[in-house]
Amino acid sequence: MHIYNPLAWFLHRGEKQEHTTPIVIFYFPTKNKVMPLSLPLHSPLPTTFSFLSLSSLPSINLRHHHHRYLTTARATVIQSDTTQQHPLLQVNDLKAKIVENGVEILHGVNLTVNQGEVHAIMGKNGSGKSTFAKVLVGHPDYEVTGGSVVFKGENLLDMEPEERSLAGLFMSFQSPVAIPGVSNDEFLVMAYNARRRKLGLPELGPLECFSYLMEKLQLVNMKPDFLNRNVNEGFSGGERKRNEILQLAVLGADLAILDEIDSGLDVDALRDVANAVNQLLTPKNSLLMITHYRRLLDLLNPTHVHVMDKGRIARTGDISLVAVIEDDGYETVSALS
C-alpha cells in the first residue's frame, strides 16, 4: 500500500498553518475504506490513524473520532495509487491444547493480519480468545498441536516467547501481573534497550531514557511517580491496564495484542487508553484486540471484526458485525457462518 507523505503534501500545498490541525484522508479503493491521519502541530510525523468506511464520510465518524480537532481540522480525500497488502501475521489451522490436562482449546484458527489493519476478536466466554492470544506469544500453559503461524515472514512457533517480543509482538494480558522488587522504570528501560539492541540501535543512556519515558507517560496520561513504583505492585485494575499501554508505547510493536484492555477502565481511562493506542498506530503496524464491548471498538475503529466460537474463527466482518452480535447474540451469528 503506497501512502503519500501527508506532511510533505501539506507543506507542498502551503497549508500547514499555526492553530490548525490538518487531517488528511486516504482512500483505498479496493477496500472501500478511508483512513484519516491527523497531524498535531509541530509533529514531524503523522501519529494517529484509523480506518472508517467510506459511507461514513465526511462528517459523522470523523466528528466522533476526532472531536478534539473538529473546529480546526481540514480534511481532503487523496486517492492512493496502489493497494498492495503486506501480511504481518498469518495463522493457518492453528490447534493448541492445555499442557496440564491435555484438553484441546483451539481447533483450527485461521487469521491473516496485514500491516495497518485493526482486528477485533469477540466471542462468548470460554470460546478460546485469550488462549489464542497467549498461544501467539508462547505462553507455557499451552502446547501447539497443529497448524502454523508466520510473523513477519518467520515461523513464530519456532521462537521463544522472549524472541517473539523482541521481534515486535506485544501482548497486554487480561490480568497483568505484578513484578515485586523491580521498578517500572528499570523494567521499561531494560526491555526497551533489549529491543533497541535487537533492532541494531544503540542503547539509550539514563538521561535519554528519562526524557523518552516522560514523553510516553504523557501519551498515556500517567503521573511520573508510577515510574518509581514496582511493576504493577499495588496498582488498581485500571492503573495496571494503563501501565500495559505505557509498556506498549515504550517498546513499540509491529503487532500489539490487547486482551480486554477495556475491562475495569472508567470512561476517562478508556478514552486515554484508546487515544494512546490510536497515536501508536501507523500504516506499518497492526492491532489485534479482544473485547466484549462496543465502546472500545467505537474508539479504535477495527477494520475487521471476528467472532470466535469453540476454538475457531466462526465469522468475520467489519464493524457492522457488532450490531448484528448485539441484536442476535453469538449463538445466531456463529451458526450463520
Ligand X SMILES: Nc1ncnc2c1ncn2[C@@H]1O[C@H](COP(=O)(O)OP(=O)(O)OP(=O)(O)O)[C@@H](O)[C@H]1O
Q: How far is the CB of 104 from ligand X (least distance, A)?
A: 10
Using CB under 6 A as the binding rule, the residues of this chain from 48 to 107 that contact ligand X are 98, 100, 105
126 or 224: whose CB is closer to ligand X?
126
33 or 129: whose CB is closer to ligand X?
129
Q: What is the CA radius of gyration of the chain?
A: 20
1 or 261: whose CB is closer to ligand X?
261
Side chain identity at 229, as an amino acid letter? Answer: R
CB 222 within 8 A of CB 242: yes
Q: Which of 30, 58, 67, 126 binds ligand X (CB under 6 A)?
A: 126
Q: How far is the CB of 103 from ligand X (least distance, A)?
A: 7
Side chain identity at 54, as an amino acid letter? Answer: L
User: Is 21 strand, coil or helix?
Assistant: strand
Q: How far is the CB of 128 from ligand X (least distance, A)?
A: 4
Q: Taking contact as CB under 6 A, which single stretch among the options 22-30, 64-72, 122-130, 313-321 is the one that binds ligand X?
A: 122-130
Using CB under 6 A as the binding rule, the residues of this chain from 127 to 186 that contact ligand X are 127-131, 141
**What whole-number distance in Å separates Cα of residue 285 and Cα of residue 279?**
12
Phi and psi at 157, nearest 5°, equal -70, -20
Q: How far is the CB of 287 from ligand X (least distance, A)?
A: 17
Q: Taking contact as CB under 6 A, which single stretch among the options 52-60, 125-133, 164-172, 180-188 is the one that binds ligand X?
A: 125-133
Alpha-carbon distance values, 222 to 65, 124, 163, 258 (Å)? 22, 32, 29, 19
How does strand 33-38 pair with strand 48-49? Answer: antiparallel
Q: How far is the CB of 130 from ligand X (least distance, A)?
A: 3
**What whole-number distance in Å separates Cα of residue 1 and Cα of residue 200?**
26
| 161 preceded by a cis bond (ω within 30 of 0) | no
Q: How far is the CB of 100 from ligand X (least distance, A)?
A: 6
Q: Which residues bind ligand X (CB under 6 A)?
A: 98, 100, 105, 123, 125-131, 141
